[in-house]
A = this chain, B = another copy of it.
Amino acid sequence: MSSKTATVDELRNLIRTSQFPPQSKLPSERDLAAQLRVSRSTLRSAMGALEAEGEVWRHVGKGTFVGKRPPEGREVFPLPADLTNPTEVMEVRLILEPQIADMAARRATINDISFMKQCLEKGEAAKDTATYEMWDGALHRAIAEAARNTLLLALFSAVNAIREHAVWGQLKEATLNDQRRRRYSMQHKNLVRAIERRDAVDCQRLMREHLAAVRDDMLNI
């Protein structure tokens, strides 16, 4: 088996075993090449093969992402991240996401709910903060997708992208600890259960409580 074919299989396996949520960004070419112990040119050619299979897609200048390329216009639109701040972002999340959770309770498919449960499990099993946050983000996005409103999802994605931006500085790393992670995991679990029993009112309340806890922890209120 050629080095390229072996690398394609290893990469496919890495992605399929859900190390990375759909539409998440893969590690850099250099890091992946080091992890799989292949040259960067072998890695690049294996990525090309996976791209052709629709397992990953490349966003020029931004990196390689898991899954199929989103339809034109569905990518995150840029918000003026340099003009906002964590207090504003949490205020906006507390407006959008409780309503999103309410809608998700009424519109989520069984498939949506299965994926939310998968995000919960992966988040709980996460051995480091970065992996936990990846699945935390994937869960919130899955709920937003389940609300079945393209425009609302675009707003959610734009706000969400800011959380990965310099605006946050070291806030997340500095304020997330094991105790808080356990609390958020419990809140996430209750939320997904409420979506499953289609309790829109409870979903709204649970999401509001969860985000208020995140805000208070993060901004030291």
**Residues of chain A whose beta carbon lies under 8 Å from any beta carbon of chain B:** 71, 73-74, 77-80, 82-84, 88-89, 91-92, 95-96, 99, 149-152, 154-155, 158-159, 162
Tell me whether A150 and B80 are in contact in the complex, defined as CB-CB below 8 angstroms, given that A95-B95, A155-B92 are known contacts: yes
Tell me whether A151 and B77 are in contact in the complex, defined as CB-CB below 8 angstroms, given that A95-B95, A99-B95 are known contacts: no
Q: What copy number does this chain have within its complex? A: 2
The one of B74, B92, B152, B154 in contact with A151, judged by C-beta atoms closer than 8 angstroms, is: B92
Interface SS majority for chain A: helix
Looking at the assembled complex, report how far the CB atom of A162 sits from the nearest CB atom of chain B, in whole angstroms: 7
A152 x B79 contact (CB < 8 A) = no
Q: A152 contacts which chain B residues (CB < 8 A)? A: 88, 91-92, 95
CA A78 to CA B73, docked complex, whole Å: 10
